[in-house]
């Protein structure tokens, strides 16, 4: 199994390529959805890395794939500008999931 990157900027792709991860740079929703479907069809890919900014363009598609497919694992990663998630993201996630404030 291998990892595959779908990014919206070349810098992230270059950084991941240095780590041995192949990928593509896409621009726009349609191109990103097509790249994601191609990666899903490739049986050798076990993990798909996709930048957070790119996911913001089609969260419905990514959520559907995460919920309805067990393989490959789809992981949202920050790009070179850092994360777009709030600093208390994990705490809010735990609170929403189990109703426990830590």
Domains (range + CATH), the chain? 2-98 (3.40.50.10580)
| pTM over 0.85, yes/no | no
The H-assigned helical ranges of 1-102 are 10-18, 29-41, 52-55, 59-68, 89-98
pLDDT score at 57: 86
pLDDT score at 19: 92
Q: What is d(CA 34, CA 63) in angstroms, rounded to the nearest whole number?
A: 16
Task: Please state, in angstroms and as integers, the Cα–Cα distance from residue 89 to each residue in 13, 19, 93, 100, following that order.
Answer: 25, 27, 6, 14
Q: What is d(CA 85, CA 97) in angstroms, rounded to the nearest whole number?
A: 17
pLDDT per position as a tens digit, 8-67: 989 999 999 999 999 999 998 999 999 999 999 999 999 999 998 888 888 899 989 888
- Take residue 98 and report the two structure tokens written for it: 């189990």
């Amino acid at each position: 199994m291998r990892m595959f990157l779908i990014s919206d900027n070349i810098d992230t792709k270059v950084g991941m390529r240095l780590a041995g991860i192949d990928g593509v740079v896409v621009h726009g929703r349609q191109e990103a959805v097509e790249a994601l479907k191609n990666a899903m069809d490739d049986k050798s890919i076990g993990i798909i890395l996709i930048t957070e900014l790119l996911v913001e363009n089609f969260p419905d598609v990514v959520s559907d794939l995460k919920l309805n497919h067990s393989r490959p694992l789809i992981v949202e990663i920050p790009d070179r500008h850092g994360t777009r998630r709030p600093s208390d993201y994990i705490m809010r996630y735990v609170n929403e999931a189990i109703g426990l404030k830590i």
